[in-house]
Amino acid sequence: MREHGGVNAVRLLPEKEEMRMRRVAGVQRLIFVVFVLGAIATAAGLGRTHRVMGIALGLVILLVGWAISASIHVANQWEKAVVLRLGKFRQLAGPGTFFLLPIVDTVADWIDLRVRSTTFTAEQTLTKDTVPVNIDAVLFWVVVDAEKAALQVADYEYSLSWAAQTALRDLIGRMMLEDMLSSREAMDAELKRLLDERTGPWGISIQSVQIRDIKIPGNLQDAMSRAAQAERERNARVILGQAEVQVAESFLEAARLYHSDPVALQLRAMNILYEGLKEKASMIVVPSALSDAMNLGTWLGVANAERMEELRRGGDRG
């Protein structure tokens, strides 16, 4: 794996390449050993009567064995081999066993057809509102045309990594920070579209792009946190103010109704006094203006007169 400028370009790992060589070499050696044994047996059999002919035939068998063993190759199920004949593209071989003409045919590259991933970053890149950000992303892609991937670009994995980083930087420069933080899915979709346009001619299809992390300066994080807190407080105050307006409107409507019906107002006032007097050890101080408005003196006088009359009647009966 190679790392450069915030891009990780993953190439075929050396251990995997070594395993491939061992697998192919094992098959080639087995075939060559079989031909060597055949050549030895032939030379030994003919050497008793025709020594020169036996040696010559043995050499021919060895050459045939070398040619066959050198021509045999093996590709994995997920691979395609790009075959060139005398430097010119001939075919895509594999998966499985395939044969090449020794010296004439060569395998220029092995193309992995599985879905693969590449991580890339954009460091200290300015947004449209001039805020420096660091963004980590991961790209999932697959080779859909092995011939184009091998012939149209020198190193398709390396080029893909740089194209991803360039597209990310370009997109950051065209977006506001607030939009980036609130619409990652839109960023993912736009990056996928940009990369599809750039890598399509290379025989590569972009499966998906995912923004993993967006880092902003620490002082800006604090400022955004304070702004969010202030916004929440403002919303709470707005809601409280709206509730007070609704209560005031209700009081205003009640005042209009009581103004048009003084009896209802007096009944309401008396009900308030009654509710207050229900509490134990309650004392209510009523302003004189309110007492006059409700004619409390008249009501209390009538009540006292009725009480005195009841007491007098009780005394007469006694």
- Domain assignment present for residue 79? The answer is yes
Q: Which two tokens stand for residue 61?
A: 């068998």
Domain ends where: 112, 134, 160?
112
Total residues found in the chain within this entry: 318
45 and 79 assigned to the same domain: yes
Residues 187 and 139 in one domain: yes
In a domain, 64, yes or no: yes
Domain holding 178: CATH number? 3.30.479.30
Tell me: do 47 and 18 sit in the same domain. yes
Examine residue 310 and state whether it is found in any structural domain, yes or no. Answer: no
**Is the model's pLDDT at 142 over the cut of 80?**
yes
Within a domain: 49: yes
Has residue 13 got a pLDDT over 50? Answer: no
Residue 287, pLDDT score: 57
Ranked by mean pLDDT, which of 54-63, 157-166, 306-315 comes out on top?
A: 157-166
Q: Do both 191 and 265 map to the same domain? A: no
C-alpha 7/C-alpha 162 separation (Å) is 7
Higher pLDDT: 111 or 220? It is: 111
pTM of the shown model = 0.58
Whether 27 has a pLDDT exceeding 70, the answer reads no
Same domain, 212 and 121: yes
User: Which comes out higher in pLDDT, residue 8 or 50?
Assistant: 50
pLDDT digits (tens, 9 = 90+) for 45-60: 665 666 666 667 767 7
Examine the pLDDT at 260 and tell me if it is beyond 60. Answer: yes
Q: What is the pLDDT of residue 203?
A: 93
Average of pLDDT values for 116-132?
A: 88
The pLDDT of residue 195 is 93
Question: Is the per-residue pLDDT at 161 higher than 80?
Answer: yes
Residue 171's domain comprises 115-216
Same domain, 155 and 197: yes
Render 10-79 in DSSP notation, one character per residue: ----HHHHHHHHHHHHHHHHHHHHHHHHHHHHHHHHHHTT-HHHHHHHHHHHHHHHHHHHHHEEEE-TTE
Which has the higher per-residue pLDDT, 228 or 115?
115
- 311 domain-assigned: no
On whether residue 298 sits in a domain, the answer given is no
Q: Count structural domains, the chain.
A: 3
Closest CA to 133 of 73, 184, 89: 184
Residues 91 and 141 in one domain: no
Q: What is the mean pLDDT of residues 99-108?
A: 87
187 & 242 share domain: no
Q: Give residue 256's pLDDT.
A: 76
Sign of the dihedral through C-alpha 192, 198, 201, 203? negative
Average pLDDT of the segment spanning 130-153: 91
Q: What is the band of 236 on the pLDDT scale with cuts at 50, 70, 90?
A: confident
